[in-house]
Amino acid sequence: MKLYNTLTKKIEEFTPLNPPNVAFYSCGPTVYDYTHIGHMRTYINNDLLKRTLKYLGFKVKHVMNITDVGHLTGDDDRGEDKMEKGAKKTGKTVWEVAQFYTDFFLKTIKKLNIEYPDILCPATKHINEMINLIKILEKKGFTYETKEAVYFDVKKYKKYGALSNQKLEEKIKGAREEVYIDKDKKNPADFALWFKRVGRFADHTMHWDSPWGDGFPGWHIECSAMSMKYLGETVDIHAGGVDHIPVHHENEIAQSEAATEKTFVRFWFHNNFLMVDNQKMSKSLGNFYTLDDLKKHNIEPLAIRYLFLQSHYRSIMNFTWQSAKAAQEAFKNLVNKIIELKQEEKKLSLSKTDNKKIEDYKEKFKKAISNDLQIPEALSIFWSLIKSDLTPSAKLNLIYDFDQVFGLKLWEINHLIPEEIIKLANKRLILRQQKKFAEADSIRKEIKKKGYLIEDKIINNTLFYTIKKI
């Protein structure tokens, strides 16, 4: 499989360290607010990567963190803790906030048919692992302590900036223009491993004992500590959003490799931004749409998944309500095609299946997905298959096979049409065969009221019908 690696800025041949096993870590949500379409795109793309790897025969172990402490409003130690902010806003405790938004996140990914990670790990359950990692860094001389925090000294880690291609001097220059609070911090690019419960954090609700006093961990250390705990010192793929590249992921690399002296991540996989109406998503524009907002516009979760299949993970995507509606339409169309195929499959005596064509489709599909996840191309191969002259059963077999990657739950469409509707449709067919057209038509209307459309078809000189969802 070919995969773009942010570290080398090249598409490379992906092979895991211990084939066929793939150690896969993805940065999870900070659970202080609702999961919105920007998150959805990232988690769907990560899911497509995971499903593709599995389809190609790899065994994936997937670990995802839940950030429930230490993530400040600025990724670089500025601002307040996002969890505490969420608690203030809602009048709940930080623990309640974490639970509420974790549940919301899990419900969202379930509806989007995103596979659960093998291990889902909240930061607050791994404080000891983080403290131990900080202790190692301290012993090796990569840290220093101020009255307010323990910092990682980025100047001591020579390769700092390799992922984002940022020179440390530029980063320091950029950071100097920002206001930051701890006057004893040596260098603006240094980042906190541990915040003490003093000064601006004197009232911080979540806090633990540590060798550096009462306090809480910085955000970045959690991913290194949990990744190492569950996947070992080197992982094959680490995924996140492009916004993680300059700070969060640089810091993860620095602290991990300083501690272990080994490569932390072999392939970095980054999802590009989602824009809304050609603008960056923001609170003031009120465009952090959730699944509930989509529902109000009659857009199903799986139609949103379908929408995201149409753009490559490395390109910026623009969301509009028009594009969402078009995706809903296309998804419904797909569902109806499958319903139709299911019915034809039962009724038609099958002609000889063209094995060569089936293999060709499989080959093309595999080639697309294993070429740095060209899902949009795979989707167009999928549609050309549906429109091809292969038999319904051959098509359905391939559709279900490809859907292992797309994750549109197409298998379940088997059971979508209620028995009641099928009985009515059969009754109507008999009436038509008896030329009782008026009675047949009143049944058609009854079926329509119940949300289904009957279409007649003549295949091989035999009259039969297909049922579609309206």
Phi, psi of 26 (to 5 degrees): -130, 140
Q: How far is the CB of 82 from Zn ion (least distance, A)?
A: 14
Are residues 224 and 249 in contact, defined by beta-carbon separation less than 8 angstroms?
Answer: no
Q: Decide whether 242 or 429 has the Cβ nearer to Zn ion.
A: 242
Query: Which of 124, 370 has the CB closer to Zn ion?
Result: 124
DSSP 86: H
| Tokens representing residue 32 in the block | 């202080």
CB 228 to Zn ion: min, Å: 13
Closer by beta carbon to Zn ion, 256 or else 336:
256
CB distance 219 to 248 below 8 Å:
yes
- Shortest separation between residue 191's beta carbon and Zn ion, angstroms: 13
DSSP state of 371: B
Q: How far is the CB of 55 from Zn ion (least distance, A)?
A: 26
Nearer to Zn ion, 22 or 223 (CB): 223
Q: For residues 273 and 280, is the Cβ–Cβ distance under 8 A?
A: yes
Alpha-carbon dihedral of residues 88, 91, 95, 101, nearest 10 degrees? -90
* CA distances (Å), origin 23, targets 1, 13, 223: 15, 16, 14
Cβ(279)–Cβ(287) below 8 Å: yes
137 contacts 259 by C-beta, under 8 angstroms: yes
**In the complex, least distance from residue 202 CB atom to Zn ion, rounded to whole angstroms:** 27
Could you tell me the smallest distance in angstroms from the CB atom of residue 419 to Zn ion?
A: 48
* Distance in angstroms (rounded) separating the CA atoms of residues 287 and 99: 24
Q: Report, in Å, the least distance between residue 467 CB and Zn ion.
A: 47
CA distances from 276 to 319, 325, 431 (A): 5, 14, 52
Residue 25 CB, shortest distance to Zn ion, in Å, is 8
Beta bridge partners of 275: 280, 318
Which of residues 243 and 401 has its CB atom nearest to Zn ion in the complex? 243
CA angle (308 as vertex; 306, 310 as ends), nearest 5: 80
Report whether 194 contacts 176 (CB < 8 A).
no
Q: Which is nearer to Zn ion, 36 or 248 (CB)?
A: 248
Q: State the minimum distance, in angstroms, from the CB of residue 48 to Zn ion.
A: 19
How many whole angstroms separate alpha carbon 67 and alpha carbon 29?
A: 6
Q: Which is nearer to Zn ion, 1 or 223 (CB)?
A: 223
Q: Could you list the residues that contact Zn ion (CB under 5 A)?
A: 27, 223
E-assigned strands of 272-334?
274-276, 279-280, 317-319
If the CB atoms of residues 63 and 276 are measured against Zn ion, the closer one turns out to be: 63
Return the number of the residue (27 or 228) whose C-beta is nearest Zn ion: 27
For residues 371 and 4, give the distance between their C-alpha atoms in angstroms, rounded to a whole number: 9
